[in-house]
Amino acid sequence: MLSKAVSSIFERRKLRLSVLLAGFSRIEGWRFSVFILLL
């Protein structure tokens, strides 16, 4: 059970990282990514 929770957290982080990397391609996306990181 614990490993499942950890894996799900890693999956969410991977998804978030991929979204942030996609945002880096644009200046506005980069600003938005920084805004999300500050939340």
The Cα 13–Cα 27 span in angstroms is: 22
What is the residue-level pLDDT of the chain in tens, covering all 39 positions? 788 988 998 899 999 888 877 766 776 767 877 888 887
- The SS3 of residue 26 is coil
Per-residue model confidence (pLDDT) at position 28: 72
The Cα 11–Cα 19 span in angstroms is: 12
Per-residue model confidence (pLDDT) at position 8: 92
Structure tokens at 37: 């990181």
Side chain identity, residue 26:
R
Per-residue model confidence (pLDDT) at position 34: 82
Name, in order, each residue with C-beta under 8 angstroms of 22's C-beta and a sequence gap of 6 or more.
29
Side chain identity, residue 20:
L
